[in-house]
Chains A and B, each alone.
Chain A
Amino acid sequence: MRFNILIGGRAGQGINELANILSRVFGKAGFYVFNYRDYESLVTGGHNFNILCISDKKVGSFDYKYDVVLALNKETLEIHRQNFHKNTLFIVNFSEGKDNFIFLNANKDKTENMAFATALCKILGIEKNFLLDEVKKRFAGKSMLEKDIEVIEHFYSKDFEKEIKVSHEKTIKIVLNGAEGVSKGAVLSGIDIYFAYPMTPATTLLNFLAKEQDKIFFAYTPEDEISVANAGVGASFAGAKAMVGTSGGGFDLMTETMSFQGMTELPLVVYLAQRPGPSTGVPTHTGQQDLLVACFGGHGEFSRVVVAPGNSKECIEKTNEAFYLAEKFGVLSIVLTDKHLVESDFSFNEFRIKEIKIPERKIKLGMPGILFRRSSYEHDANWNNSEQISDIVESFEKRLEKHKMLEKEVKKLEMYKIYGKGKDLVIGWGSTKGAMLDALDSLDARFLQIIYMSPFPKEISGFIKNARNVFVVENNATGQLSKLIAQNTGFIVEDKNKILKFDGRPFTPQDIIDELKKRGVK
């Protein structure tokens, strides 16, 4: 049973943090939880909201039908009115006098949000200690902690005359944010350097990594994206494991450097967090519109890895794999994510991570007695610049051979995942996985999640051949994955079978179910 909670208010009211705290508390209490964050391109004011979907079953999405609303301002009630139902419960801190409204009458200070959190937990029957523990851990040493604890104790002792039972498991669920997953994957892989230029929605990763820093690696924001990318290559040249991060527009600026990487074959991991484009687009919303530029951006011909995780646990594993492949083959590894993936929190029952040990470099710049050289020019086997036919051909053949070895190696990793049963096949990638899996319970179909985009798992032809109908679900307008499928398997997805959403918002399971049923899927 899915239960949706809306938390809404102005930017600056601490909505995201409140949702963050609650999602961890729900996880501790045994709920599966999915936390969706929605915010505008401004600093204070406007309207921000989070939707928490909790359940006793795995949940990777939310629904636009709210069972409880925490309205931190009146505007929230106006903006979301279409999504309330007759039993929606409202928790507010202004007197409304209506049925289904709980007026907190809390102090309008920095502890206000804690009153909201407590009331919600009390009404849902969640043990006080779960909330206290989370708050104590999060705000340890902070001056507000005592006041927050007071507020929690006070509001737990109140009787709200409302009790909602939402079934849940007993075992703790691990709650993990998407960007946090990438951060853990990078640290796990022994990252030495992270460079990025501020750009939504990639910046959250920088914040997570900055917390993990502690004299293990160095993170910095150089003057522009071109610096970021070149500094990444430079750090790699000096023997460091380097990652750079950006969104679509910044990646465009880096493409010359991607080509530089292709020629110099210095390992480099790129974190690309997509948002809707083209151009400045819609900075704080989500899209899957940069798949092709991730796979092909950068002039000339050179090998690369593009991997698209679908939830925060996959973010850890695929980032680790990206570092592994970059180091092993001197290849560019792009971890392709989007706002919905990196800003959302996912929950997991079990958390065993398949870790791959990163190979150490045997020869490094600075070792006495060796000349360590790289060039952006075409070159001979000793990295002397060259225009000779034999050198050019030999160089190219080496790089083509390397790509073949990369293709072989990637086959050992999970390049795709297949779920469900049924004659129809639905193909998707990245952050649509959550809604897709949640929808699958109501569908007689299989879901094929493509994880590796480059090299591409050509063997999916098998699934396509055996399917009655093939659908592709994507957050873009031109069906970019369909194009990759056509290129790699020869199969053309019919236009009417492309389910495309490009309004900057993620799919809900209902969206997918409606669209598929319209097209004859049972």
Chain B
Amino acid sequence: MKKTKTTKKEMKKAEKACEISKALLDTKIKNTWCPGCPNFLILDAFKRAVCELVASGQKKKEELVVVTDIGCNAKIYDYVGLSGINGLHGRILPLAFGIKSGNPNLKPICFGGDGGTYNEGLSHFLNACRYNMDMTLIVHNNQVFSLTAGQASAVTEQGFVEKTHPFGIKEKPFNPVVLALESGASFVARVSALDIIEMKRVMEQAISHKGFSFVEILQPCIVFHNNSDFLRTSTYKINEMDFENALREARKWNYSQEGKVGVGIFFRKQERTFEQKNFEWKLRKKL
């Protein structure tokens, strides 16, 4: 491979990005995730994505607001140096709806788990896809309630055994990607937590997208639902496609621990946002 010399401009840009990284995003808070938890990878990817967006001038640091649920994933509130609110379990999307209504110049980036998003907050998830407010939802889907010690969620595979279902859960999981597409989400993606580069790329795209962007991150929970081997060997890259094909592709995997899992950006469209439709006058007003 031909190696090109890094230009001074590129060097400066990279330095600026690193500076921003250090100043921006490190916090002194002691991390309480299990050592080896893929949440560390997600945090890393997120920090890189934010650095790039801020360094390139696409977003300002003060525009970004982290909105987190309750659960292991949500501790990210303390681990990233951005303004934020640690909300109620399952209620981050209406919380973000309020933030956006209050000041539409802010960009809420919501972090939830599968429990908060697909159990407690399912109605809010479907409606958020429908509203199309300019905000991002990143779901840490480890197919289990981790912080409360391993209960099955609405997207856990059939047959999964845990303390509250000692004979295996009988119900089948939802398919969140299909739900998001059917509910009208204007940006739908799914990635694996084991691929930092792809996570960063998709997060950047999602946060830049003007409208509601949904990024589902499939991650192993190394304590309660460790499907690392499955995720490591079963994913394949998909390319952006039109709506009907995206739906077809999304239906291919049923959230069991079998088969092949398509990862990438499924679908994207530009549509007038909720703010543009409902309070355009606020967008023009300086808040």
CB distance from B98 to the nearest CB of A (A): 2
Closest B residue to A369 using CB positions: B62
Known A-B contacts A226-B91, A368-B60; A385 and B102 likewise in contact (beta carbons under 8 Å): no
Task: Digitize B94-132: 1 where CB-to-A-CB distance is under 8 Å, 0 elsewhere.
Answer: 111111111101100000000000000001100100000
Residues of chain A with a CB closer than 8 A to B103's CB: 238-240, 364-366
A233 and B65 contacting across the interface, CB-CB below 8 Å: no
Closest A residue to B280 using CB positions: A215
B63 and A366 contacting across the interface, CB-CB below 8 Å: yes
Among B229-272, those with CB < 8 Å from A are none
One of A165-173, A372-380, A487-495 contacting the partner = A372-380
B282 and A218 contacting across the interface, CB-CB below 8 Å: yes
Whether a CB of chain B sits under 8 angstroms from the CB of A59 is no
Whether a CB of chain A sits under 8 angstroms from the CB of B281 is yes
One of B35-43, B74-82, B156-164, B204-212 contacting the partner = B74-82
Closest A residue to B30 using CB positions: A384
Residues of chain A with a CB closer than 8 A to B61's CB: 368
Question: A180 to B282, alpha carbons, bound, how many Å?
Answer: 25
B94 and A227 contacting across the interface, CB-CB below 8 Å: yes
Residues of chain A with a CB closer than 8 A to B279's CB: 218
Whether a CB of chain B sits under 8 angstroms from the CB of A78 is no
Closest B residue to A238 using CB positions: B102
Question: A256 to B279, alpha carbons, bound, how many Å?
Answer: 29
Question: A365 to B84, alpha carbons, bound, how many Å?
Answer: 9
B106 and A230 contacting across the interface, CB-CB below 8 Å: no
Question: A376 to B71, alpha carbons, bound, how many Å?
Answer: 12
Set A220, A239, A260: member contacting B87, Cβ < 8 A? A260
Set A232, A236, A366: member contacting B106, Cβ < 8 A? A366
Question: A378 to B29, alpha carbons, bound, how many Å?
Answer: 15
Whether a CB of chain A sits under 8 angstroms from the CB of B223 is no
Known A-B contacts A227-B127, A238-B106; A257 and B98 likewise in contact (beta carbons under 8 Å): no
Known A-B contacts A226-B94, A368-B62, A375-B86; A193 and B101 likewise in contact (beta carbons under 8 Å): yes
CB distance from B252 to the nearest CB of A (A): 30
CB distance from B193 to the nearest CB of A (A): 23
CB distance from A192 to the nearest CB of B (A): 7
Whether a CB of chain B sits under 8 angstroms from the CB of A237 is yes
A256 and B88 contacting across the interface, CB-CB below 8 Å: yes
Residues of chain A with a CB closer than 8 A to B99's CB: 234-235, 237-238, 365
Residues of chain B with a CB closer than 8 A to A311's CB: none
Question: A248 to B145, alpha carbons, bound, how many Å?
Answer: 32
B78 and A385 contacting across the interface, CB-CB below 8 Å: yes
Whether a CB of chain A sits under 8 angstroms from the CB of B83 is yes
Interface size class for chain A? 35 or more
Whether a CB of chain A sits under 8 angstroms from the CB of B278 is yes
A192 and B102 contacting across the interface, CB-CB below 8 Å: yes
Whether a CB of chain B sits under 8 angstroms from the CB of A45 is no
Known A-B contacts A224-B123, A384-B29, A384-B78; A260 and B88 likewise in contact (beta carbons under 8 Å): yes
Whether a CB of chain A sits under 8 angstroms from the CB of B85 is yes
Whether a CB of chain A sits under 8 angstroms from the CB of B11 is no
B95 and A230 contacting across the interface, CB-CB below 8 Å: yes
B83 and A365 contacting across the interface, CB-CB below 8 Å: yes
Among A264-304, those with CB < 8 Å from B are 264
Whether a CB of chain A sits under 8 angstroms from the CB of B1 is no
Residues of chain A with a CB closer than 8 A to B287's CB: 239, 366
A230 and B86 contacting across the interface, CB-CB below 8 Å: no
Give the residue among B98, B123, B278, B281 with the most A Cβ atoms within 10 A: B98
Closest B residue to A260 using CB positions: B88
Whether a CB of chain B sits under 8 angstroms from the CB of A242 is yes
A257 and B88 contacting across the interface, CB-CB below 8 Å: yes
Whether a CB of chain A sits under 8 angstroms from the CB of B221 is no
Question: A214 to B282, alpha carbons, bound, how many Å?
Answer: 12
Whether a CB of chain A sits under 8 angstroms from the CB of B154 is no
Closest B residue to A257 using CB positions: B88
Question: A377 to B86, alpha carbons, bound, how many Å?
Answer: 7
A231 and B98 contacting across the interface, CB-CB below 8 Å: yes
B86 and A374 contacting across the interface, CB-CB below 8 Å: yes
Whether a CB of chain B sits under 8 angstroms from the CB of A32 is no
Whether a CB of chain B sits under 8 angstroms from the CB of A79 is no
B101 and A235 contacting across the interface, CB-CB below 8 Å: yes
Known A-B contacts A257-B88, A260-B87, A376-B86; A238 and B78 likewise in contact (beta carbons under 8 Å): no
Question: A195 to B95, alpha carbons, bound, how many Å?
Answer: 12
Whether a CB of chain A sits under 8 angstroms from the CB of B70 is yes
Task: Digitize A201-241: 1 where CB-to-B-CB distance is under 8 Å, 0 elsewhere.
Answer: 00000000000000100101011101110111111111110
A230 and B94 contacting across the interface, CB-CB below 8 Å: yes
A371 and B83 contacting across the interface, CB-CB below 8 Å: yes
Closest A residue to B98 using CB positions: A234
Question: A376 to B86, alpha carbons, bound, how many Å?
Answer: 6
Residues of chain A with a CB closer than 8 A to B84's CB: 373
Set A193, A368, A376: member contacting B98, Cβ < 8 A? A193
Question: A408 to B278, alpha carbons, bound, how many Å?
Answer: 41
Residues of chain B with a CB closer than 8 A to A195's CB: 98
Residues of chain A with a CB closer than 8 A to B100's CB: 234, 238
Question: A211 to B26, alpha carbons, bound, how many Å?
Answer: 47
CB distance from A265 to the nearest CB of B (A): 12
Whether a CB of chain B sits under 8 angstroms from the CB of A367 is yes
Residues of chain B with a CB closer than 8 A to A365's CB: 65, 83, 99, 103, 106
16 A-B Cβ contacts within 8 A? A193-B98, A218-B278, A220-B101, A223-B124, A228-B94, A230-B91, A231-B94, A231-B98, A238-B99, A238-B103, A239-B287, A366-B62, A366-B105, A368-B62, A376-B70, A377-B86
4 nearest CB pairs, A to B: A234-B98, A238-B102, A231-B98, A240-B102
Q: A223-B124, A234-B102, A366-B287 are in contact. List 6 more A-B contacts (CB 8 A).
A: A222-B127, A231-B98, A235-B102, A375-B86, A377-B86, A384-B29
